[in-house]
Amino acid sequence: MSLNQNSTVATNSIPERESVMYQLTSVTKNYAHKGKTVRALDVAELSIPAGQMVAIQGPTGGGKSTLLQMLGALDRPTSGSITFGGKDLATLRSAQLGTIRAEKIGFIFQNFNLIPTLNAAQNVETALAVNGVDKAGRKERALEALAAVGLADRADHLPSELSGGQQQRVAIARALVKNPQVLLADEPTGNLDEAMRDEVMELLERQWREKNLTLIMVTHDSAVARRAQRRLRIAHGKVTEAK
Amino acid sequence: MYFTYLRRELAGRRRQTIIVAVGMALAIALVIVVNSISSGIKDAQASVLSSVYGVGTDITVTQKAAAPTQGQAGAGPGGGGQFDFGQDAGTSSGGTTAISQSRLSTSRGSTAFADTTLSTIKNVNHVSGAAGTLELTNISFSGTLPDRSQRPSQSQSGGTSTPPASGAAGGGSSFSVDSFSVTGLDPAADALGPLSSVTLKSGRTLAASDDGTNVAVVDATYATSKSLAVDGSITIGGTAFKIVGIVSSTSTDASTATNVYIPLDTAQKLSNMTGKITNVYVKADSSANISTIKADLQKQLPDTTVATQEDLASSVSGSLSTTASLVSNLGLWLSIGLLVAAFALAVLFTISGVSRRTREFGTLKAIGWSNWRITRQVAGESLVQGLIGGACGVALGLLATLAINIASPTLAAGVSSGTSGPFQRSGAAASAGSPGAPGASGLAGGPPGGGFGGQAKEAVTNIVLHAPLSLWIILGAVALSVVGGLLAGAIGGWRAARLSPSEALRSVA
């Protein structure tokens, strides 16, 4: 069962070269703010093994989002290297980063970020449009992904016709439909009430186990963070292991 | 995905789509209407000009106006005519003397020149044909005067007098002055010049064998007003001419250039102007050479006025000319202004749409959409908005043009009397007063210058304005809407492409 494999895999049981999903070395990210340079991220060393479920916590403005941007290939660091699956994201061109995002990384956002004019199935299909899947294949896989998150009967509903929890489940289906290696979640339960929070977290955990994902979540919610195998704390751009 | 997304976006943002499309539609419709009216006006001008100059004439040559010379017996060309009656003129009966005199002279404002000029013109490079004409005016005076030697008893009208001279009763005088235009032309050269644009209504047109004979072709409008018919006769310069044909203008809206057409040599003889012509109609071998010919002619014939169709178009006056300038000025600028406004509207709406959808595009980039794919999506939306506007605009423009064509507004067109044209005869008829009318008799009589009314009317032609639509106008309008859509799409797409994918992570909407 993949659950056992994933949850128990330790970095030393598999050769390290294959098991490390992310390797950050001397990564900094600076922003110009009112004429001054602000260092948003300063990570000396961080390794995230494949299949790990990581929660990132920390104060607002501490660098959580910046770290997520680096891990998600949305932005390049000012200096240092971020190795993802053997490639250094810091040196790739924008188009190459785009391809990596399209194929290997799934995103979940606090505000769900669904396209308001597209129905649930079409929203899921947007993730496949860039992966060369034909129309019939896209439709089929989108419906499967929606079924996997329990929304088979809501495929033709617009986001505005769905509850917050349902919208986030559509977003999870969109993130997972392309079978990514990594799922990055930015406050996935931040806009949900408790009941929906648990519902979404159970879904995420189930998908993480079943699909052998590396799941990295930024969260304020300690209840959510406690579910993770590993908790990182980031403040003033520095990452520390939380107890 | 592309079309689904596009369709969903346009349907989902219906208000924006409608505003952009309506703006574009109004602009496109205005462009179509202005264009078709403007080509309608060009047609109308061409119609006025061809009824005067004939079809196929590229250039006209006339003599520059000179000081009147006393070249002919009785009256100087173009000057105030004068009728001289001797002591024994007219026939007296019943106490009145009926007198009648008819005189043929060059039209007012026209100056005759030697017909050797014609051969000079024919030798100019690129001239494929030239025809000379002699534009004349026939003025006839007829009426009755009291016979001093006898007691007045009855009135009498004579000659071609139009109104019955009833006013002469009781010792008064009654006379009328009748005037009509006569063009002498070379029957062999009727492919060019005034007779080339006419339609034969009855009888025949002038033939080469008519040289030197007293035959005439009469304009249908004039013939109707004077009750003239084929095989009838008309007195020109005191000589009776046989009417061999009645012609009308090919344009249903205008009369022909002249009331009466006669062979050139007959006209020259009758007006004592042997070897003289007043106008030369020139045809170029190609329209590209018209300006070259004009320059050559001006060099070789410095005393003449050389006018191309383009020059002549500016001599068209009346409400047609007013409309032409209204359309070319106000209409043109209005449509350009509206087009710019519609384009700006489309661009602004697209940009504000992109700004509103920052997170949407950021998300799409985050899940791997390329800049090109997003630009294409935004541009596609704008393009379709433009096309919807274009289609509505074409429909609206077609309806408006149809409405104009159904309403068929009538415009008055005249040919203004400049220094060059052979048109002064008309204007002159209206303004010259009563040449030769012996005001000294001063007694109540028939309407002075009764014949002029009909002449003056010819100066202004009523032209029905049609607004023709060509496929090119419609294609051009559609192209404009595509350009507008692409412009908005390109700018909006460029903005969207510049967005960072990390915008997706911003929690503020």
Residue A90, pLDDT above cutoff 80: yes
Q: Compute the average pLDDT of residues B230-239.
A: 87
pLDDT in the model for residue B95: 67
Cα–Cα nearest to B386, from B480, B294, B275: B480
Shortest Cα–Cα distance, A107 to chain B (Å): 7
What integer pLDDT is reported at residue B97 of this predicted model? 73
What is the mean pLDDT of the segment spanning A91-107?
A: 93
How confident is the model over B255-279, as a mean pLDDT? 84
**Residue type at position B59:** I
Cβ distance A111 to B365 less than 8 Å, yes or no, reads: no
Average pLDDT over residues B396-424: 68
Query: Do A117 and B13 count as a contact with CB atoms less than 8 A apart?
Result: yes
pLDDT in tens, B483-509: 999 999 999 999 998 888 887 777 544
Asked if pLDDT for residue A18 goes beyond 80, the answer is no
Interface test with A, best of B2, B365, B367 (most A CBs within 10 A): B367
- In chain B, domain spans: 2-43+322-410+466-505, 65-302
pLDDT, position B507: 55
How many Å lie between the alpha carbon of A115 and the closest alpha carbon of chain B? 6
**Searching chain B, which residue's CA lies closest to the CA of residue A95?**
B370
* Model confidence band, residue B392 (pLDDT cutoffs 50, 70, 90): very high
Beta-strand relationship, A238-241 and A230-235: antiparallel
pLDDT of the residue at B291: 82
Q: Do B369 and A113 touch (CB under 8 A)?
A: no
The answer to whether the CB atoms of A122 and B369 lie below 8 A apart is no
CB B279 within 8 A of CB B133: yes
pLDDT, tens digit, for every residue of B184-196? 888 877 667 777 7
Residue of chain B nearest A110, judged by CA positions: B507
Residue A15's pLDDT is 43
Q: Among B102-116, B396-410, B477-491, which is the least confidently predicted range?
A: B102-116
Q: Is the pLDDT of residue B65 over 80?
A: no
- For residue range A171-185, list pLDDT tens digits in order: 999 999 999 999 999
Top pLDDT among A193 and B428 is at A193
- Of all residues in chain B, the percent with pLDDT exceeding 90 is 12
Sequence-separated (6 or more) residues with CB below 8 Å from residue A72: A101, A105, A107, A184, B366
Task: Look at residue B160 and give its three-state secondary structure.
Answer: coil
Shortest CA distance from A66: residue in chain B: B502
CA B32 to CA B25: how far, in whole Å? Answer: 10
- Ranking B221-230, B281-290, B380-389, B475-484 by mean pLDDT, the lowest is B281-290
Query: Mean of the per-residue pLDDT values for chain B?
Result: 75
pLDDT surpassing 70 at residue B467? yes
pLDDT of residue A143: 95
**pLDDT(A97) > 90:** yes
CB contact under 8 A, B502 and A75: yes
Predicted confidence at residue B43, as pLDDT, reads: 78
Q: What is the pLDDT of residue B117?
A: 84
In chain A the domains, ranked by start, together with CATH numbers, are: 2-241 (3.40.50.300)
Q: Given an 8 Å threshold on Cβ–Cβ distance, is B364 in contact with A126?
A: yes
- In this prediction, residue B80 carries a pLDDT of 47
How high is the ipTM of this complex? 0.90
pLDDT of residue B155: 45
| Closest by Cβ to B9, choosing from A101, A117, A129 | A117
Measured between its terminal Cα atoms, the distance across chain B in Å is 25
Instruction: Name the residue among A74, A122, A130 with its Cβ closest to that of B501.
Output: A74
B47 pLDDT above the threshold of 60: yes
Q: Are strands B91-93 and B215-219 parallel, antiparallel or unpaired?
A: unpaired
